[in-house]
Structure formats: structure tokens, C-alpha cells
Chain A
Amino acid sequence: MTGYFQLLLPELILGTVACVLMLLGCSMKVATRKLVPILALVALIAVFAIQLGRQGSDNTSARTLTDISGTFRIFHFAQYIKLLVAGVGIMLLLLAWPTNAEGTGNSALNVGQETGEFFGLMLLSLCGIFLVAGANDIILLFLGIELASIPTYIMVSISRPNPVAQEAGVKYFFLGAMSAAIMLFGFSYLYGTTGSIKLDQISQLLHPQAAVSGLAASMAETDPAQAVIQPWVLLAVIMLVVGFAFKIAAVPLHVYAGDVYQGAATPVTAFLSFVPKTSGFVALIKILYAVGGPAWALPTQLSKLLWVLAVLTMTFGNVLGLLQTNLKRLLAYSSVAHSGYMLTGIAALSGAYLTAGRDRNDVQTDALAGVIFYLTAYGIMNAAAFGVLMLLPARDGRPGTSAETFEDIAGQGRRHVGLGLCMAVACFSLIGIPLTVGFWGKVFLIKPAFAGGNNWLVIIVMFNAAISAAYYLRIVATMFLRDPVMDAVQPAGDAKFPFPIAAAIGLSVTGTLLLGTVLPVTQVFTSSTHIAARIDDGHESVRFEAK
């Protein structure tokens, strides 16, 4: 029993604390409700610490923990994702800290009636990604994805007392439900064709020869026959890709992004730009691994589909971002574009088996590591951009709105130099200027694409980086080079910035610069991502018997 407990400790903590938070939220006393965010933070920090400990130990001994029925597996990939989610989750929680109610209009953030639900849902959503990362079972995988998503639908709706937020929540929910249906349809086909719900068994069934010799098979010469999968499996995977594409807001399933991101309160927007995306990417990687086997022997149709998806996503995201006047909408489309960059890594990964030749194993590892690294980079650098928006007031003083338009932030960088510089760092990192983590993120995505022979993909990524520079630079230019719009409602004297939000911005900016400049630190992360990327390392599995 201790085995299960140990295995599921982080998930259990998150789930239990979420329930406690909801109970606390029922209290009539504000003082009790004030405990809610603190407790949530403590829980997340505890989970982060546990994951950090596991990270250290698992780097040395490559072992895979599996529970007895094979539903849940813990391996490097899952460990890294959990650590990442816990770490970024701390920043997102700090951003949502109940201090800035008039800025964000989130009544939960004013320690109102919804405080308990809000933070409880936040933890549940994070718990969902933990399950996605650990799932070895398509049912648990689906449940994890939904656990990560459903709380976000509610969080969007309750985040602001505005009709816009309700509309956003409903829109998000209906489209999300549809994508979940398609995804579930895909899962059912996958089960129907293979007769198994376990991902590792599916992999063995589809690639029997790889299962026998393990990694040795994946090192062998490319066998194009391996990369052919049955049409029904292909159909299943395509439906799953459609479902995941919704979660990561890939074009053409990105249409909700603009409205939902704009409608939700800013801290929720920040949450949306990271959490569903991560769950989508993790699930996508797991499914591709299950279908392709240890050698990632994926059929050309699939890699072409992903290629097209990547190109469409980043191009549309950036071009639409260029056209926006609302900053939250802009960041929504920028988030779409960043999904596109990560999809280039996935495309390079899926195409490597057939195109990269003998060193395809390195290419695949690099590609996957690149995706994971970019996910890390995006999680770190994006928080600062949203945090700065939250601290600046809207020009017309609408209740419940932080800065949303370019007029709102005009000249604010000169008024609050620190905030302006933080925004500049975040924007330069999102562009991919050197000395920020965004630069290395792009480099590590380009490298495997080149090595796998996807030269055109790289050129398209570069074009997109140039397009994206235009609108990110516009943010910096508006903050520093424009004069403040005079009719703005400006608080007299120096505004006091709430500490938790400032701390989140500080963490984000420090992380961005630290990972960008201090290469030994970057190296810790790259080696972790490389270890995480070799999903199937170490076949010995430690099984815990239920006694």
C-alpha cells in the first residue's frame, strides 16, 4: 500500500488539498477564506519539493515505477513534466493571489465567496496534468486531460463578473466538449483495433519486433515497413491529434483562443496559456510514442499532417497577433504561435524515423528535448508578460479590468521603469533575442529540424520569428516610447504593487534571464530535458504489490 501511496503522493496532495480548499471556501469568515491561497501555495511548494527530490534520484538510476495493473507509470518524462508544472504552477498561483481585485475584477481574488472553488479548481487542473503525465492507460489519460480542462471552463466563467467572461466560459466549454468527444472517439478506435487500453501494450502490439529487442531495434536500420500502421489506427491517431490540437490551440482549432483569453480575467488567461497546452502536448507525445513504438516509427501521413499543422499554427498565430489591438488577444494569438513552434519539434520528431537515417535516435531525442525545453521556456517567460499587464490599470477605469489595450500601457514603462523592463525582458524572450531563455528555446527547436532535414520548416520558423518581433516590439515601444494617454485614470503617487504578483513577475524574469545567460544553469535544464526525452530508458520496472 505504501507503494501506491508513494507513487501517487503528488497527485494525492493536490487532490486532497483541493477538496479542503473548497470546504474552507464555504466558510462565512473572510479570515478563513484568506487561508485558501496560502494553503494552495503550501501544497504546490510541497509537490514541487517532492518532484525535485525525485528528479535528483531518478537522474542517477533510470528506473520506471509502474503500479500493479500498469495504469500508472512514472518515468523521466513524466517526472520532468510534473516538476515543470509544479514550478510554473507556483508562478501562476502567485499571479492569481487575492490582492488585485480591482485590477482583475476577479471576485475570487477579493477573497470573495468563490475563493475556495477558484483555488481548488486550479489545483485540480494541475493535478490533471500530473495524471496525464503519469498515465499508461488511455482511460486515465482521457480522464487526466479532462481533469485539466474542465476546471478551466469554470475558472474562466467565475473569473470576472462580466458578461464577456460568461460568454467566454460557455464558448470554451462547448468547443472543449466537442473536442473531448472527438478525442474519446479516437481513443475508442485505438482500443478497438488493438484490444488494449494500456499504452505500453499498444506499443508492443503494433511493433512486436521492437518489443523483443527493446532499444536495440530502434537503433537498427530504418525499416519503412515498420512505419506503416493500420488505417484504423491511423484514423484513431488523427482523431486524437484533432482533440489535442484543440487543447494546444493549434490552427484550425484555435478560434476560441482570442475570445476566451480576452474574456477571462488576466491571471486566468495566464493559466490558460500554459496548462491546457501542456496537457495537450504531453498527451500528444504519449500517443505518438505508443503508436510509433520506441523507434518513433510513424507513417509519413502523420508526420506530414503535423508538419502542416505546425506551419499553419505558427503562421496564423503570428499574423493574427500582428492585427490585434487588445493585448490579451494579442497574447492569445502569440500563444497559438508558440504552440506552432513547439509543433515544429513534434513534426521533426515524427518525421525523423524515415528521413534522418542512422542518427535518427539523436534527432528524435533532440527534437523531443527541444519541445520540452520550449514548454519550460514558454511557461517561464510568459508569466511575466501577463503579470505586468495585471499591475497596470485600464485607462477608462472600468471596474474589473487591468490593462488590455495599447493605450492602457502607453508610456507606462517610463512611469514604472521596473515593470517596463520586466515586460521588455518577457517580450524580447518571446521574440527570441539572445541572453533570454526564448533564444535557446528557438535554437533547440531549430537544431533537430535541421538535423532531420526539415530545412524548409526552419525557414518558416524564422519568417515567423520575424513577424512575431513586430508585435512584441510594439508592446515594448508602446510602453517606453509613447507618451501616456492623458485621459488615463492615474493613481496619485507611486502605485504599490502587491507582493505576490511582483514575486511571480520577479521569478519569471529571473528565470528568463538566468536560463538565457548563465549557461551552466541552462545546461542543467537541457540535460534534464534530454533525459526526459529518452522516454523508454531503463526497462526494469519496479512493481509494488498491494498487500
Chain B
Amino acid sequence: MLVLLLIIPLLGAVIGAALPNPRFAKTWALIVSLLTLGVAIGLVSQFNFHPKVEAQNTVDSIQLRFGAVPGTAATGSAYTLLPLGVSFALGVDSISLWLVLLTVFLTPLAIAASFDSIKERTKEYYAWMLVLLACMLGVFVARDLLLFYVFFELTLIPMFFIIGLWGGPDRRRAAGKFFLFTFTGSVFTLAAIIYLGIHAGGFFISDVVHYAQTALSGPEHTTVRLLLALGLLAGFAVKVPLFPVHTWLPLAHTEAPTAGSVILAGVLLKLGTYGLLRLAIPIGFVGNTAPILTSLLQLVGLLCVVGIIYGALVAWVQQDIKKLVAYSSVSHLGFCVLGLAALNTIGIQGSVLYMINHGLSTGALFLVIGMIYDRYHTRDINQLSGLAKRMPVLAFFFVLFAMSSIGLPGLNGFTSEFLTILGAFTSHTLGIKYGVFAAIGVILGAVYMLHMVACVIWGPLKTPELDHNDSHGSGHDDGGHAHAVPGDINGREIAILVPLALAIVLLGVMPNAILKTILPAVELVQKPEKMKPTQALVVAD
């Protein structure tokens, strides 16, 4: 079942790239992504959300182990193995299940949103989108550390091409910067992963965490854990991104095509937070109270708070609304990591919820901005004003998503923001100072979002002069009149935004749907010593 999540998009990508007629490519990609969504829903129906045991709640796990367990190699005559215990192990617990759902929910919407805006080389574009889908799902379902890394790294390649080939004017620099920043960070993660794999005697995530909790628990291993924590942080902090290494993000988000931005903000950034949650926290920080590790955690918290406030302030002064939303992501992801760094149940729960909420609301904002851009070919806050007068339906969605992003009670953003800040307040490691400054970030968040909404949606109607010779075309819905004023969003676009709006309202009203189900998994993150080794692996002596 799980393996279908990977095979369907990959196979779909191959078939899509081989399609003779590029006109079918978009329909095909949508069908494949919806099929993947179907598989994921089937997965949910099988999932036991309230396990009695605290063991990892895996729906099914496909384990193809290559090579012998290192412990047995000594008795064998020859080293007839890949000298690392790599395995193709898949599995989900409730946290990854929700993130899988987020991914398969956003991808069809992103694909549908590209129908009109992507006109060149469509076959390749949709093939890369499907490859990207498979890679992202792979990260969430991998239960083997090296497999996790493989997928984590592979997301770079499709995204590199999506930004670089179909992006805005500065796309080459954006794509290169995106790739190099994330790759540079993640090579150190690879070093940490291999260190763990060698010493834990295998790469199963639960084994590795078990190893870190047992063999590295003593104070004499603090240096090792510090280095491991730093190595893991290096890769994930760039991906998230945390404050000083966030500079790739605004550029990549701004230059990427709409669907690319949606996926980038909605899912790819979550790979970083997911990695922190799944690996960096249990391996690096939990179970060791050495002052240096606490300081590191506080440093991470500090960077989050700086990122929250800095991101918000920078977002406030942006002229480009897409860039504004991009900087808002820096700010929002600060909350998300802050909840993780709090290391308490509330914080981590809030953080997981934040991952999903941010994916929904920021993804939705990017979609709406893309729709505006399709019509007016500008995202300049000075050139757009009063759009509500011409596009009331779009204005409704825009305001709704902006409110969700601000954290209006009743919509989804509120609960998670509240929980992460509460987590920071009550945390042993972080404490009240962090909470106070994060709360200031909430106010700033309202300031820049409302500033944008006020400028773009309300006020006197002002739209840029459309270039009449513009061959790129505005929305298809205005009947092909080159001179026609762009109309409101059409049925396809409404169909894209409605599911998001529904999800946003639903999660705002009943956040417990997620919070309760992830509780066992969150507790396991906090008490990883309860995690059992997956198999009776021989632990290296």
C-alpha cells in the first residue's frame, strides 16, 4: 500500500513524459495525483489512530534488506554485503500520515493551478511535478535513515528544474541558490547519518534513535551528541529555513512558478521541520541535559524568535506580494521550530499542527497571488489596488486565507500559533522570554498581512495597464478578447480554492482531529527511549 504512494507518481511521471501529445499531459498529471490522493485516503481508512501500545504505528512496512546485518558478517567468510545495513523500509505513524495527506492534498491543486500558466514544455513540467510528489512522499514514509536522506536530497532535482525552467526572470539564480544552499546543509546531515548508521549497526530510524538514547546517553558522549545535533541541524535548518540561512527562500519562492511556490512553501519546507522532529530532536536533544545541548536548543529558539520578528518586519516592507508571503513563511516557520525546541507536548503538537496549517494557508495564498499575476502580470503592491471591486470572489478567498495566515480564531492558524507560543512559555528550556517575543511576532504578522490585504483588495480600484500585444494571454475565461478586462476567477480556479477554504475552516473549528491523533506519536518523540528497535538487530559491540 505504502509503496503505491511512490510507484504511482513515478510511473505516472514516466508515462507522462512519454506521452505523444503534450496536450494530455496536464490531464494525465491531475489524474495521477488524484490517484495518489485516493491511495492516501485508503491508507487513512486502514490506520489505527488510537494505538494501545506506544510502539510505532505502522500501517504496513515493506522491508527489503540488502546485505547481512553487520554483526553476522564476522562469521561469514566473505564480506558479501553492501557494507551498510541499508533497507527499503516504509512505514507511517500519525505524524507522517498527516503530512502525507497534506502533500497529496496540495499537489493536485498545484497541478490544476498550472493548467493555464504553464504553456511551454508541458510534458516535462508535469513529469517533474509527479517526480517531486514521489520524492516528498518518500521522505515522509521512509523508515530507514539512508532512504530518508535519499528522498530528502532527491527533492532538490525536480524543484531545481521547476524553478529554473518555468520560473520568473531571475530563475537561474534562484534555482542555483536553492540547490546549493540546501545541498550544502544536507551534506553534513549525511555525515551525521552515516556516523549513526555505522555505530548503531543499521539505518532503521527506530534503531538509530534507540542507539542514541542508550549508547549515547551518558555525559561522556555529550560531544558526540553535540556534533550529531549540529550535523542534523545543518541540513534541516537550511531547509526550514531558520533565520541566518533563510536567504535562498524569498528568491526561490518569488521566482518559482505558482505551483512551485505552493509545493515549496506547502510541503518542501516541512521536510526540514519533519527532519528536526523525527531525527534532530530525539537523537540530538532528548535524554541529555548537558548544558551545552540546552544552550544549543536555546540558540535554536533564539534564531526562531529572531526569524519570526525579522521575517515579519521584512515582509512588511515588500513591494512584491509574492515576496511578502515568502518572508511571512520565514516568520511562520520560526513559530513551527520554536514549538519543537520547546520540547514539551504542547509545543510539539502545536508544531505539527503548524506544519499542516502553514502548508494550507500559505499554499492557498500563493495560489491566489498566482491567479492575480495571471491576469495582470504584476505583483507590485503599488500597481494593484481595490481588486475586490472587480474580483469579489477572489477577494473573498484572499481575505479568508490572509486571516488564516494571521491566526484569526476560528480559522486554522490560530490554534497552532497559540499552542507553539504556549509551548515556548511553559518549556523548561526556553521559557517566558521566547514566548513574549514570539507573541510580538503574531502582532507583526497581522500588521503585514493586513497591510497587504488593505492595499491590494480594498481601496480605489487600480490595475496596471495591460500590454495589448501581450501574447502570453491573461485568464482564458475572458473569451479570448485581448482587450478585455480580466474577469473574476473562473470555475476551475474556484474549484481549486474551495477545498483549501474548507480545510482551513474545518481545522479551525476542530483542530482536535489532528491534535488527538498525533498525541501518541508526539509522546514517542519526547520519550524516544520507549522506541523499540524494529528488529532484533545485533547491536555493534
Contacts and interface: CB of A to CB of B under 8 A. Distances in A.
Contacts of A366: 83
A456 to B, nearest CB: 11
Given A450-B195, A520-B66, A530-B78, A473 B176 contact: yes
Contacts of A455: 195, 227
Nearest to A463: B187
B401 interface: no
A171 to B, nearest CB: 34
B153 A447 contact: no
Contact of A434 (B78, B149, B180, B191): B149
Contact of B191 (A462, A473, A480, A523): A462
B82 interface: yes
A497 B177 CA distance: 34
Instruction: Using C-beta atoms within 8 Å of the partner chain, give the interface range for chain A.
Output: 35 or more
A447 B191 contact: no
Interface string A504-547: 00000000000000011011001100110000000000000000
Contacts of A522: 82
A428 interface: yes
A135 interface: no
B399 interface: no
Contact of A481 (B66, B156, B165): B165
A473 B179 contact: yes
A527 B172 CA distance: 42
B172 A447 contact: no
A435 interface: yes
Contacts of B183: 431, 466, 469
A104 B150 CA distance: 38
Contacts of B227: 455
Interface in A417-448: 428, 431-435, 439, 442-444, 446-447
A465 B180 CA distance: 11
A527 B156 CA distance: 31
A444 B191 contact: no
B54 to A, nearest CB: 32
B66 A523 contact: yes
B386 interface: no
Q: Is the interface of A mostly helix, strand, loop or mixed?
A: helix
Given A433-B153, A447-B194, A450-B198, A482 B82 contact: no
A55 to B, nearest CB: 13
Contacts of A481: 164-165, 171-172, 175
Contacts of B86: 519
A451 B198 contact: yes
Contact of B194 (A443, A477, A523): A443
A365 interface: yes
Contact of B83 (A433, A444, A450, A459): A444
Given A435-B154, A530-B79, A447 B176 contact: no
B67 interface: yes
A480 B165 contact: yes
B471 interface: no
B66 A519 contact: yes
A474 B176 contact: yes
Contacts of B165: 480-481
A387 to B, nearest CB: 21
A235 interface: no
Contacts, number: 99
Contacts of B156: 433
Contacts of A365: 79
Interface string B174-213: 0110011001100110110011001000000000000000
Given A459-B191, A465-B187, A519-B66, A531 B78 contact: yes
Contacts of B188: 459, 462
Interface string B39-59: 000000000000000000000
B280 to A, nearest CB: 17
Contact of A473 (B83, B154, B180): B180
Nearest to A434: B150
Contacts of A474: 176
Contacts of B501: none
Interface centre among A369, A442, A462, A470 (most CB of B within 10 A): A462
A287 interface: no
Instruction: Using C-beta atoms within 8 Å of the partner chain, give the interface range for chain B.
Output: 35 or more
A432 B156 CA distance: 13
A462 B66 contact: no
Given A365-B79, A527-B78, A477 B180 contact: no
Given A435-B150, A469-B183, A523 B67 contact: yes
A477 B172 contact: yes
B460 to A, nearest CB: 40
A472 B55 CA distance: 44
Interface string B139-166: 0000000000110011011001100110
A526 B83 contact: yes
Contacts of A463: 187
Contacts of B535: none
B21 interface: no
A447 B84 contact: yes
A240 interface: no
B83 A369 contact: yes
Nearest to B121: A414
A432 B194 CA distance: 14
A206 B472 CA distance: 78
Nearest to B149: A434
Interface centre among B81, B82, B160, B190 (most CB of A within 10 A): B82
Interface string B52-87: 000000000000001100000000001111111010
A301 to B, nearest CB: 27
A141 interface: no
A433 B190 CA distance: 11
A531 B164 contact: no
A34 to B, nearest CB: 38
A433 B157 contact: yes
A473 B157 CA distance: 10
B159 to A, nearest CB: 13
Given A434-B154, A435-B150, A481-B165, A450 B82 contact: no
Contacts of A394: none
A290 interface: no
A523 to B, nearest CB: 5
Contact of B187 (A435, A447, A466): A466
A458 interface: yes
Given A433-B153, A466-B184, A469-B179, A526 B191 contact: no
28 contacts: A369-B83, A433-B153, A433-B154, A434-B154, A435-B154, A439-B150, A443-B84, A446-B190, A450-B195, A451-B198, A458-B191, A463-B187, A465-B187, A466-B183, A473-B160, A477-B176, A480-B161, A480-B164, A480-B165, A481-B172, A481-B175, A522-B82, A523-B66, A523-B80, A523-B82, A526-B79, A526-B81, A531-B78
Task: In the A-B complex, list the 7 residue pairs whose CB atoms are closest, starting with the nearest.
Answer: A530-B79, A434-B150, A466-B184, A481-B164, A462-B187, A519-B66, A527-B80
Given A446-B191, A473-B176, A519-B86, 20 more contacts: A59-B78, A369-B79, A369-B83, A431-B183, A432-B187, A434-B149, A450-B198, A462-B188, A462-B191, A466-B183, A469-B180, A469-B183, A480-B161, A480-B164, A482-B172, A523-B80, A523-B81, A526-B79, A530-B79, A531-B79
